[in-house]
Structure 1
Amino acid sequence: MRILKVIGLALVGSALAMGSAQAQKKWETVKIATEGAYAPWNFSGPGGKLDGFEVELANDLCRRMGVKCEVVAQDWDGIIPALQAGKYDAIMAGMNVTPKRMEAIQFSRVYAASPHGFGVLKSSPLAKLAGTGEVYHLERDAAQAQTTIDAWKPLLKGKTIGVQGSTVNSAFIEKHFKGVAEIREYKTTEQHDLDLAAGRLDAIFAGHSALAATAEKPEFKDMTIAGAGVSGDVLGAGVAVGLRKGDTELKAMFDKAINEAIADGGLAKLTAKWFTVKMTPQT
């Protein structure tokens, strides 16, 4: 009996030691997933090479954390399940922080924030949607935001709106325009951009940063942003690094690196390079 007790204590001690070692994991390489289809946040360039704001930011943050950075492409639909399964260590894919997502994963501090809105063709009656040039927070500016949304509904009644599925954008459109307009979901924003340009959609709904970048391309010269920009509520609290809930040390490392990038202006330089709108979050 005594021998069994000793063996049992040894096994418990070994398990505790293993748990402690895992808790104190030294991060030497961090594997980061991005979608590779959401320019200018992330996209696949010539030869399939990943590029964009988040690819450059990922490498900068890894440098600040003193780790090797490996950025890989992952389809949006499975990006959170694959993180939970251990396929990679973090997500940097234009992912907004929402309560629903926080049930499954944790997030670093926010590294970018952009309002969301409609993209339409310049020749469309929808180009005159109410509030163009304004930005409303769906909670802080609730009355103004709701008045504007209500003003959009008659113009959008019976129209077809394209949106990327399983995103904050699709959540917003479902909440406010289900039963008003036909909602068509796409796997990527690139797909709904093309359908808008081809006249197969009346409008698309996405982040202003992505819409502005698309409108700058020659093949989308007839596209414009229409109506007020909106943020908050189902659209989230800003874009951050997605992480497994147990990786508290890695979260602390990302938080510190992002704070440093904000403080020394590194993040502002990257956002100025990739976006035409201000994206750096408040400290």
Structure 2
Amino acid sequence: MQAKYTRLAKALIGAALGVTLLGSGSAGAKEWKSVTIALDGSYAPWNLTLPGGKLGGFEPELVENLCARAQIQCKLVAQDWDGMIPGLQAGKFDVLMDAISITPDREKIIAFSKPYASTPASFAVSDTKILPKGGPNTQPLKLDADSRSNAPAIESMRHALKGKTIGIQSGTVYTGFINANFKDVASVRVYKTAPERDLDLANGRIDATFDDVTYYTANADKSPVVIAGTMIAGPIWGPGEGLAFRKQDADLKAKFDTAITAALADGTVKKLALKWFKTDVTP
């Protein structure tokens, strides 16, 4: 989930430097016949690396459709999240697409397209004695932008996870929520990638993970972990997930906004979401 936040601390520094180095930039004069789009390549089913090195998943298939609508030739490249925002600002990429949640902090340094997805998040466990099984068919708890909540559901999960170890992927939008609500009662272990974190959960080295619900549901058939506890949704995660651009590339953003609007209207996003997530994530 990707959609992503503690990584943001380093990324903000790099991005700020990038803005200084770029100055006014000349990207606004481009015709945008071709662009380079960076994805993580390891956040299945949003994006993944297929045998042979090609990128697949919900986002690569969606962006192929969007690029055709925008009449732009798009090259997809894999890039670790830590280097994405600095790489964008330095001109290494033109667009980022990695289940990136739209947040006020990020909007200070980069521009976002209109959201193409909006998803709830949840804990996952390998032992339902820790937290009771949940799932996408249960009613989520909607929270506002203030991540600290005294809601009974949050207090119940705090009690269940007291003394446990929670694994999260570094830099995600969920980091602040977990730190604000659970770090005082549980240990929080940070991982560079979701697969590394999931392996530790499956092997009992941590007790729970927290991530996008679509990530868990799409991997349910090949994973021993289950969605648990109460799903968290609403403005706390921002408007949703969007493409990221340099602020000066407003014309490129406009092209993709138009393409996303059309893909939402004709059901393309819903169709791809059902294929990859088994649930509709249209915002």
The two structures have a TM-score, normalised by structure 1, of 0.85
1:33 Cα offset (Å) = 0.5
> Which deviates the most, 166-175 or 182-191?
166-175
- For the 8 Å contact 1:111–1:280, the answer to whether it is kept is yes
**1:68 equivalent in structure 2:** 73
- In the alignment, is residue 210 of structure 1 matched against residue 212 of structure 2? no
- In the alignment, is residue 48 of structure 1 matched against residue 50 of structure 2? no
Q: Deviations over 1:222-272 (max 9, x none)?
A: 311011111245522210001100000011001000001111111111111
2:71 counterpart letter in structure 1: G
Q: 1:235 aligns with which of 230, 237, 241?
A: 237
Q: Percent identity?
A: 45
Partner Cα distance (1:158, 1:119) in 2: 16
Aligned residues: 260
**2:257 equivalent in structure 1:** 255
**1:186 equivalent in structure 2:** 191
Partner Cα distance (1:274, 1:110) in 2: 18
- In the alignment, is residue 226 of structure 1 matched against residue 228 of structure 2? yes
1:238 counterpart letter in structure 2: G
**2:119 equivalent in structure 1:** 114
Q: Which has the higher contact order (CA 8 A, sep 6+)?
A: 2
Counterparts in 2 of 1:1-283, with a 5 A limit? 23-127=28-132, 133-139=138-144, 146-217=151-222, 220=223, 222-281=224-283
For structure 2, the 5+ residue unaligned runs are 1-23
- For the 8 Å contact 2:147–2:180, the answer to whether it is kept is no
- For the 8 Å contact 1:162–1:183, the answer to whether it is kept is yes
The two structures have a TM-score, normalised by structure 2, of 0.85
1:128 Cα offset (Å) = 5.2
State the Cα RMSD in Å: 2.5
- For the 8 Å contact 1:121–1:127, the answer to whether it is kept is no
Instruction: Evaluate the alpha carbon distance shift between residue 22 and residue 198 of structure 1 in structure 2; reply closer, same or farther with a 3 A threshold.
Output: closer
Q: Deviations over 1:118-160 (max 9, x none)?
A: 0101443323589992212212999997221111111111100
- For the 8 Å contact 1:131–1:228, the answer to whether it is kept is no
Q: Which has the higher helix share?
A: 1
